[in-house]
A and B are shown apart, each in its own frame.
Chain A
């Protein structure tokens, strides 16, 4: 089970969080159709460190940016998501 360190609530069970999408597939509001298509429908799908968008859905509901390893599940960094990041 993941232990995620919410910047607002401290370390909480992974059960309280939902994975949203990799950061690279967040679509900018002014993206062209080609860019939007690439961001929505293709992935690096890395085996290793990955920046991801998560949400503390069953907690404080904050949107978070996680640097998580997809092979070891180690979470190196958890920060509050800012739309321009």
Chain B
């Protein structure tokens, strides 16, 4: 792998940027691999990278039905944070956040991780009580959390409507200063390039159409580019998890819903932190290019359409303008939607399945992007050793029947009732 550097960039520029090698190969699938990962999104590519890097696995393939990063890795709002409420979730996301902090160096690829702070707004006394409880829970586990007064929030985001007759009055907030955003495409490309350099075969336009299962054990996958034998198979394809699992006769605790996001035309810096409100479910941040990135509620009914309903655009726009009135002057550029794997406790599933040598990484709801490095690292550990790491052990597939759910929102078995 040709290492990227400032000097190399200068040299490339002087040569008219004509001599850059391809960032990863386009190999033909081999007849067999030790480990086959189904799904070439951020999580799948990260898994492959850590299998090669940490576990020295030489025979790993990532199969992607379209192009890498064309699914939810390219459809999120790029927010990274670890300020969750429950200890299991905190351990998982904090592990991931620590990997984010060194990721650009690790991959020799600038993932543009920007720790600009992730702020939850409180809109009432009870919101503030809830945020204080969450802050205390985080502090107990050594994760940074700071409760802010209304005035402190105002100093951080001067454009917020802090007036007493605001549509969404602001009482204060809870900030994780180590949280922020990252460049979603760079994460995918960085992992792909680094994994490829370690010998991982990234095979695009290769859809899995069946699983070869004999005597309760998976032997390989059938694909649109031929059969591939595999020692272990790791499913890692949000939006396709239920259909892939059905090929192994499994029914998952997952319902697929739509999550939309929107960006405005680019403007000069106006919001330099991530604003989130869980009471009204609105997410506002500004990309490095200057676009205002907005997100909100999912569409709240099952769908695979990757196309959102207009009502949600109106909801999110009205919420964002209620919080930051200056946004009303912006024109929206694009809206898009991704298919989310909604699990029934709001937490992911990373671990073994009842089929031997078949593993599952799914159910990230609408919060998978922030977990990309941690999910990949832990899934690689699970695939390499055959058993979950203590951090992902609670996120097992059988936790629902055991009554051991990790119900972050306390909403019960209704993925659309947050």
Contacts and interface: CB of A to CB of B under 8 A. Distances in A.
Contact of A45 (B254, B305, B416): B254
A73 B303 contact: yes
Interface of B: 242-243, 246, 251-256, 300-305, 309-311, 344, 400-401, 413-414, 416
The interface residues of chain B, by DSSP majority, are classed as loop
A41 B311 contact: no
Contacts of B416: 19
Nearest to B256: A45
Closest A-B pairs by Cβ, 5 of them: A45-B242, A19-B301, A41-B400, A42-B251, A40-B413
B400 A47 contact: no
Contact of A21 (B243, B254, B401, B414): B414
Interface residues of A, number: 23
Given A41-B400, A73-B305, 18 more contacts: A1-B309, A1-B310, A2-B309, A14-B311, A15-B311, A19-B301, A19-B416, A41-B253, A42-B251, A42-B400, A43-B254, A45-B254, A45-B302, A70-B302, A70-B305, A71-B303, A72-B305, A73-B303
B302 A41 contact: no
Interface in A34-85: 37-38, 40-45, 47, 50, 52, 70-73
B401 A71 contact: no
Nearest to B246: A44
Contacts of B254: 43, 45
B243 A47 contact: yes
A47 B251 contact: no
B251 A43 contact: yes
B302 A19 contact: yes
A13 to B, nearest CB: 8
Contacts of A1: 309-311
A44 B241 CA distance: 11
A19 B414 CA distance: 11
Contacts of B414: 21
